[in-house]
Amino acid sequence: MPRLSKILQSALVAVTAATSTVTAVTTEGGFASGRNRLAPPASDAASGRYIVELEKSTGPNARQEDSSAADSLVGQISSLGYEATVKEDFTAISGRFRGVSVEIANSNNVTSNNSGNSSGVVDEIKSIPGVADAWPVQPIALDVSFEETTDSQRWNPHIATRVSELHDRGLTGAGQRVCVVDSGVDVDHPALLGKVAGGRNLVDGDGSSSSSAATLTDCAGHGTFVSSVIAAAHKDFAGVAPDAEIYMYKVFGCSDATSNDLVLKGMLAADSDDCDIISVSIGSNTGYADSVLSRVASEIAQDRLIVIAAGNSGEMGPYFASSPAAGRGVVSVGSVEASQTMGWPATLVSSGGHSLNISYVTYDGAKFNQTVHVPIVLDAGDSCNIAGSGSETTAVLAKRGVCDSFQSFRSIANAGFGYGILFDSYNQGAYYFDDVAASSDTLQLMAVTTASVGEWASAQVAKNYTLHLKIESDAQPAAFAAEVPSAGQVSSYTSWGPTYENGFSPIVSAPGGIVYGAFPDGRFAISSGTSFATPYISGVAALWFAHAKKDRAEFVRRLTSTALALPAFDITDGKVVGGGLAASLAQQGAGLVDAAKLFDYTTVLLSEPTLSLNDTDNRVSTHTIRIQNTGSEEITYNISHVAASTISSRNSIWYPNTYYPPLLSAAGSLSEAKTVTVAAGATSDIEVTLSAPDVTAESGALWSGKILLAGSNDELLTVPYIGIEASTYNWTPLHHSPESYRYDQTDGSLYPIDYQGLAYRPAEFDSPEVYFAFRYGTYEFSVDLVGVDWKTEQFSYPPQHSSGPRAWYGSVRFQGYEGGGYMDFPMREVVRFNLGAYTTFRSFANGTDIPSGRYRIFTRALRIFGDAANPADWQLFLSDPFSIQLGDDPIPGQNTTWTSSVPASTSAATTTMTTAAAPTTTSVATTTAPISVPGSTTTLSATATPTGLADAFTSLKLQRLQEDAPFIIDPAAWMELHVQISLPSPVPADSVISFAVPPEITDIAQDVQLSASGAQAGHASFDPETRLYTIELAEWTTWHKNMVGNFFVMCRFTPEFAASMRQGTYVVQFPTVGRVHEASTYYTAVDRSAVYERLSIAPFDGTSLYTAEVEVPSSLGPWDFVRLTTSHAANSDGFVCANSSVVVGTALDAENRITASTDVTASATEVCNVKNFRAVYNETLAGDEVLRFTVSSIQGDRDMWTLSVAYLLDVQLSNGTMVLYDQRTLAFEKNPRLRTWGFNAFEGERA
């Protein structure tokens, strides 16, 4: 399915919370460190709508009873005080589900009801005789994006799946219908002409069957795209089953949102129409096998093949399955990235008589369908910094820079060129770049080609030849293997299973990343998502049903037993991880579909297609695998096992690890290998026993793999399995009790819930804030109100409404503002989320106001596998008491009227998160005590004669850049001249003060304005000929007194002098009018008791190379490993991997600098690409050895004055202590600048 918007937002870690009586402090694993509000549905979403399932009729008049059931239900709901109407009658569509969806118009403003019950609307509906169950209708949104084009392209994703081999055999799905539940379809699209045989409009039509374009109109484009993956037949574009037909069940209007009652209606309609294959690329992140959509899908799967998208929330990590893909017996589908790139041909023609045929990739893969023959120039810059200029009738060939593609597009467009082709650099790969999102009136083409094209063009230009670019509009595509690490790998966005009940999801994968398909109005597009892997499997099913047999069960068993497991791949690092083991089957299912094996294998699996070993409480270790030899000769099978990657599914406080979860070295094992011989036509039962990895029972290790049956006929049948080392029942949804606070809007503080006894007014949007997070699934979670003397021991389910201090009053309603969407508690089948969020409440869940009184907040969460009727299966928590006042009604038991107000105390603190860290570098503090360093003393003198006012300068001294320290470790680095000025009285206009600078100092910041409060105090400049630094004072100094100047001027030693410096003291003299200022600067050896950093800038590849060296001495060990991590993901700069390294310094000179080293780059570098660098050294150093990380970068935007490299350094000591150093940001300064001490360079008083 497309990436779905989530009502409850997720984050990476569980956060901290306030827990004291008045002052908020932090504790690990709390919920309230940030005020993240729970988001109710939008006001136009599904608030006030409910799916109601009725008990099945079994008597002789069942059909007649069904027809009157909806009317009867509406009447009974109305008797509760609600205005109800039927929105969807499921009973009229299919006998599979007896029920309706109803809309209650006044569920948000009921002031009283006939039941006297203040429980939620759902609970009230469930209490009606004849109602089996009820659920709030949930909105479902598409957030898939399409890159559109008017041109089609010859795209063949069928090689990796071997579907192309079936096409070559003439298997095209002729005569087979695939029923698609989606947003509609463009029946007149050139790629789908004659393919759409019918369907139903279930949104705004009458639901009758039709193939009319008007009836099935697709506003979103999603359904058209999905349909084309299955059945497109076009000269340049073929679906999986190009001769199959489509039936469309339209469940979206002209928006990107629908609701689960409409999706349910669509599945039931397809079921009632006797569809063999139902394809559903829609869902929500509720991975429960018994959610209403999953349960109905499970029932449909008993009779039909139903193929469902696994979801696009891979960033959430394991245990984030979706519904209806969590259904039992359904085919849930994950996504695999495309393994080829769609390229297009062009020719470069040299005036020297040579030409080069090239392939280029447009940013979105679309064909540039024009004939072009224009001059092309080789630019001296790169794509981020185009140096030349052109016109609409010229093209530019430029090195691909390290900035994002939008900046490249803008750079080329601003230079005036009509066409831009970038040749690859720094191993970025010739691949699509979807971050352009820009348009230009002049730039018609932006594309990338291989690095070799740049080499050829450079050689031609070096001989003074000119170049021309030729592109033909009728050119055939030139697809080639994708040059990116993720090509052919499991898509990172695929939602991970298992389901909350430990069921397999997904069970298989198919191409879904960078997919080409049809788009409404005759257009084509590319997109990514499990939405598009799902119709791929549906298309394979169409081939099987059309040309083999209509046997859904055998198809599923063949599908999983022949799929190819793909390796574990981390998109963040851009590489295969886990030593090449298969990715966890919780991410990919059985793996990538192999359509040829599915058809051809003579060995057929007759038992379950997947094995769920379940959790430690419900472990099923022994399974029977039944196979049949359908061939003409006996086959001997060797039974063995291969483990997939084992992942750590949760952290230390049991929140699921997010993408990419840590890998564990442990793996499951097979009890013993076996050999089985099966005669032709015979079946055999094989008993296998799997043992868990050698980990603790509550480790959360999620382990998986495949049983292998290697036949003597060269067929390899596999049976995937999965298990979890944890008790699902004990993996409770709540880490601890939800936290209830009073929030003070004036100072942003959280106070205890009953702080100062102030009453809340929920009816006026003033209530406590209740913070919580779900670390695992729960069938039901509720925020209720109870009396002050109510005890959790009183809880029974369903709770019964009463009144008084020992009463359960009811669940509450969350509504953020008047007229806004609302959410009623209890929440059912919740979406887990790691970041603490809060809810408030306005009323009881049925809309009635909360009367004045004293209450407690009662929160409850039902465990997975729990029985709601058993109180022991719930987590139950109570808050402290607090008061609520409704209008002017007095609070019972109080002799005064309570009012809500801002807390009077000022002693509260806002919630904060505290951290502790060790410093990464050492700084020497300023001191007046004598300093002695080894070496001689050298005086740097200035001979120039200063002019201007006398005795204006109080101090002139050199120091390290942005550090008040006179110690210089790297003489080539930038320094600062700290300038301090005192002008006690106003000075005449145009006055000057100046000082002389020794010739050894250069690159002095100059031509800068010196600011004062609201004005300019002067202008500073440096004359390199006279060696005078002069400040021309401005008018501000004529009407101020007691003026103090305090600022820092960047400078550095000349390269020649820096190279000659040795350890010692350098006395720097700055003559001024009236006196000579002397300041000592000390050049010392590198301190090998701390981390040392060195920055350098050198010419490189037409630009500058910015190299940061971070050196870690052995004195900080012994350690198990040292890890350095840095990234340019948040800026336009990039790393140059060829110039980055890791070495061990084995010899040092007298200044403790490395003179000999051993290169360990190959073994230590884990990740190096343009945007990310990470290296880990796993050995302990000897003696005085030093570990050096060298990280080199280039700028994306060469006009920027700085380049920054922020890095993290982690040291795992051998004693078990992990030292996490503070993040350091190293700033490369290209140009000298002036820095002020405070906000202004000058301060003073008005005279």
pLDDT band at 770 (very low <50, low <70, confident <90, very high): very high
| Predicted pLDDT at 364 | 74
Give the pLDDT band of residue 1081 (cuts 50, 70, 90): very high
Q: Assess contact for 1081 and 1147: CB atoms under 8 A.
A: no
Per-residue pLDDT at 19 exceeds 80: no
Count of CA atoms in the C-beta half-sphere (13 A) of 303: 12
Instruction: Assign 921 a pLDDT band (cuts: 50, 70, 90).
Output: very low
Per-residue pLDDT, 14: 27
The confidence band for 78, taking pLDDT boundaries of 50, 70 and 90, is confident
Summarize the confidence of residues 539-544 as an average pLDDT: 98
Which residues, in sequence order, are CB contacts of 1174 under 8 Å at separation 6+?
573, 1123, 1124, 1125, 1126, 1165, 1166, 1167, 1168
Segment 123-169, tens digit of pLDDT: 888 889 999 999 888 888 776 655 555 444 455 789 999 999 999 99
Specify the pLDDT at position 924.
Answer: 31
With a pLDDT cut of 90, the percent of the chain lying above it is 73
pLDDT in the model for residue 906: 33
- Is the model's pLDDT at 1160 over the cut of 60? yes
User: Which of 415, 408, 432 is CA-nearest to residue 377?
Assistant: 415
User: With 90 as the cut, is the pLDDT of residue 59 above it?
Assistant: no
Work out the average pLDDT over 837-854. Answer: 93
Mean pLDDT over 1033-1052 rounds to: 97
Which pLDDT band holds residue 439 (cuts at 50, 70, 90)? confident
N- to C-terminal Cα distance for the chain? 73
- DSSP-derived 3-state class of residue 298: helix
Q: What is the pLDDT of residue 11?
A: 23
Q: Which pLDDT belongs to residue 384?
A: 96
Report, as residue numbers or ranges, the catalytic residues.
Answer: 182, 222, 531
Candidates 882, 777, 839; CA nearest to 316 is: 777
Separation CA 36–CA 836 (nearest Å): 7
pLDDT, tens digit, 9 for 90 and up, residues 1191-1203: 999 999 999 999 9
Residue whose structure tokens are 């700055």: 1070
Mean pLDDT of 774-793: 96
Most confident by average pLDDT, 106-110, 671-675, 858-862:
858-862
Instruction: Yes or no: say if 560 and 589 are a contact pair by the CB < 8 Å rule.
Output: yes
Q: Is pLDDT at 114 greater than 50 in this prediction?
A: no
Secondary structure element (H or E) that encloses residue 269, with its range: helix 260-272
DSSP state of 317: -
Residue 2 confidence (pLDDT) above 80: no
Q: What is the mean pLDDT of residues 994-1004?
A: 98
Residue 931 is predicted with a pLDDT of 75
| Averaged pLDDT, 934-959 | 96
pLDDT band, very low/low/confident/very high, at 436 (cuts 50, 70, 90)? low
Q: Specify the pLDDT at position 923.
A: 32
Lowest pLDDT segment from 330-334, 392-396, 673-677: 673-677
Count other Cβ atoms within 10 Å, centred on residue 853.
Answer: 24
Contact in structure between 381 and 387 (CB atoms under 8 Å): yes
* pLDDT for the residue numbered 902: 39
Joined together, the tokens standing for residue 351 give: 């005036």
Please give the single-letter amino acid code of residue 993.
I
Which tops the pLDDT comparison, 873 or 927? Answer: 873
Q: What's residue 895's pLDDT? A: 58
pLDDT range class, residue 478, cuts 50, 70, 90: confident
Q: Which one is predicted more confidently, 152 or 496? A: 496
Would you state the pLDDT for residue 429?
84
**Residue type at 735?**
H
249 vs 63, higher pLDDT:
249
As a whole number of angstroms, the distance between CA 909 and CA 911 comes to: 6
pLDDT of 903 reads 40
Give the range among 474-488, 1149-1163, 1175-1189 with minimum mean pLDDT: 474-488
User: What pLDDT, on the 0 to 100 scale, is given for residue 759?
Assistant: 96
Which amino acid is residue 326, in one-letter code?
A: A
Confidence grade of residue 782 (pLDDT, cut at 50, 70, 90): very high
Contacts of residue 1163, defined as CB under 8 A and 6 or more positions apart, other chains included, come to: none
Q: What is the pLDDT of residue 63?
A: 55
**Among 1143, 1151, 1220, CA closest to 1186:** 1143
Q: 339 pLDDT band (50/70/90 cuts)? A: confident
pLDDT band for 368, please (50, 70, 90 cuts). Answer: confident
Residues in Cβ contact with 514 at an 8 Å cutoff, skipping those fewer than 6 apart: 337, 338, 365, 432, 526, 528
Averaged pLDDT score across all residues of the chain = 88
Rg (CA), the chain: 36
The more confident residue out of 66 and 256 is: 256
The amino acid at 291: S
**What is the pLDDT, as a whole number, of residue 196?**
96
Spatial contact of 22 and 905, defined as CB atoms under 8 Å apart: yes
Residue 982: predicted pLDDT: 98
What are 103's strand-pairing partners?
49, 85
* Number of alpha carbons in the 13 Å side-chain half-sphere of residue 598: 33
Write the Ramachandran bin of 184: left for phi over 0, alpha for psi from -120 to 50, otherwise beta.
left
d(CA 502, CA 721): 11
Residue 58: pLDDT band with limits 50, 70, 90 = low
CA–CA distance, 740 with 767 (Å, rounded to integer): 10
Residue-wise pLDDT for 590-632, tens only, equals 999 999 999 999 999 999 999 999 999 999 999 999 999 999 9
State the Cα torsion 574-580-584-590 to the nearest 10°: 110
Looking at residue 908, what is its pLDDT? 36
Residue 500 has pLDDT above 70, yes or no: yes
Q: What are phi and psi of 943, to 5 degrees?
A: -100, -10
- Residue 544, classed as helix, strand or coil, is helix
The confidence band for 475, taking pLDDT boundaries of 50, 70 and 90, is confident
Res 653 pLDDT > 60: yes
Q: Specify whether the CB–CB gap between 507 and 157 falls below 8 A.
A: no
Which domains are present in the chain? Answer: 1-40+732-914 (no CATH), 49-137 (3.30.70), 143-333+486-563 (3.40.50.200), 343-478 (3.50.30.30), 599-728 (2.60.40.10), 936-1086 (2.60.40.1280), 1092-1220 (2.60.40.2430)
Q: How confident is the model at residue 10 (pLDDT cuts 50, 70, 90)?
A: very low
